[in-house]
Chain A
């Protein structure tokens, strides 16, 4: 009895506020846009009887999804989101791995402090961290001031409101997600393995390639998914740092909803985004599962 209520309370909460909302999104994505409040048709009203319910299902169609394929704004946004998420994941890995490696090889008494320094940004406001780059990257920003004053450039670089700024923003804000799993994999690495590799004739570099990298593979995979998945649906970074030409699906969805008030299309955009996300999410879960099993 107690067990049942322990299960039921969080279960029902999640059903009502997580699963049901999704079904609603799915349903609305199959509805038609209408100039009413709420702005879609048909609306389901169980009070009106069987005929109405049949009509209701009869009115649902894939029109919005067809629309998404015909207007190239959408599929370009998906492609561009995938592209930005993919490359920024690689950049984050390139920046994050050396940091994680440096941390794992730092003296023992430094490591808790370094760890805290990586976690600290995670607790500070995401919005503020993205915002802090506006002052740096703008035409009159600190970066251009610096480069102009040392004479490296004569014209201010135009970085803010471009995809470059979006890449920088994603790498910056998601860096802790990349560092932490790689660090925890590297920290567990038995240093005598590297000594053994060198003893058996490896140079430092080949020992790194043949021992360190394969043994931190799970950390790398986890870190990449932790960056790629949220970056794909990112809204704040492209809106603040990106320009009008920066197409990301999170931004498109937001605009479709708030600016165009086209709820059915916004819902259809969300459904497609979810379908795209399912693959990396499942791969990520499988990787975690494998690691848990490996850890025993």
Chain B
């Protein structure tokens, strides 16, 4: 009884128009030659050229990229460990506190997380800069990673690990040779999630950053507070395009793999 009635078609059309129209307009007007953003005055790519010569934006992008790579890597390692603890470690003293600390940052307002970390860094006399932003990002991203990885671990067939032990693996080599390769897709998507969270974050970075460590969202923020600017439109277009290409590629690859797998499974039954 799956069917596209007029109601469903209308809901989907309007829904996706609502979701995408603002971004489409943003992209379209990034090619506007006028400085007045909302008045169309002909096609131009000059804002992209100006963007490439804007040292402040390029510096901020470089800072953001470094922060994102380092913090998401730390977050992935810590988050995977935390997921193992949540799913595998059984009971230990303070387990409730631990799982609370994993889930709380997911729903914590960013202003509170940012404020509390800033007060900590000041309290222990840590100079604020790239390092403190990395610490902050790694901390809240690890919680997201651990949620992603632990939901994969929860459905992981434990007998695979037992088989590895049975065939002579130590605990550690069983994890390295069997568990990790199998949960790798979840760990990778955890990393990607942590990476985008770090790229996106404005509030926590604003609290925890210091001189010389202006991230791209902070830079964008100070620009957009003054209103719409064609350069920001160009920058947004670039960022949206990168994400869109990434997500579309990923979903095409996933789709192709699953189709191939289905075909192979069908073929296997017939042999």
Contacts and interface: CB of A to CB of B under 8 A. Distances in A.
A13 B22 contact: no
B111 A140 contact: no
Interface in B1-19: 1-5, 7-9, 11-12, 15-16, 18-19
Interface stretch (B82-90, B156-164, B179-187): B82-90
Given A10-B82, A105-B8, A140 B38 contact: yes
A167 interface: no
Given A17-B117, A102-B12, A131-B232, A253 B224 contact: no
B109 A124 contact: no
Contacts of B236: 125, 128, 131-132
Nearest to A193: B1
Contact of A108 (B2, B98, B116, B217): B2
Interface in B29-70: 29, 36-39
A165 to B, nearest CB: 12
B25 A135 contact: yes
A190 to B, nearest CB: 10
Nearest to B39: A140
A143 to B, nearest CB: 10
Contacts of B109: 230, 232-235, 250, 273, 277
A270 B228 contact: no
B217 A6 contact: no
Interface in A186-220: 191-192, 194-195
Contacts of A19: 97, 101
A191 B3 CA distance: 11
Contact of A24 (B79, B119, B243, B244): B119
A20 B217 contact: no
B268 interface: no
A274 interface: yes
A99 B15 contact: yes
Contacts of A54: none
B163 to A, nearest CB: 20
**Which of B20, B22, B98, B233 has the most CB atoms of chain A within a 10 A radius of its CB?**
B22
B186 to A, nearest CB: 16
A28 B118 CA distance: 12
Given A132-B23, A253-B115, A233 B11 contact: no
Contact of B11 (A98, A134, A230): A98
A21 B119 contact: yes
B120 A95 contact: no
A266 B115 contact: yes
Given A11-B98, A131-B224, A18 B104 contact: yes
Interface string A124-153: 111111011111101011100100000000
A107 B2 contact: yes
Nearest to A190: B1
A38 interface: yes
B31 to A, nearest CB: 14
B26 A135 contact: yes
Interface of A: 2-3, 6-7, 9-11, 13-15, 17-22, 24-25, 28, 38, 95-96, 98-99, 101-103, 105-108, 112, 114, 116-121, 123-129, 131-136, 138, 140-142, 145, 172, 175, 191-192, 194-195, 229-230, 232-236, 239-240, 250, 253-254, 257, 263, 266-267, 270, 273-274, 277, 281, 284-285
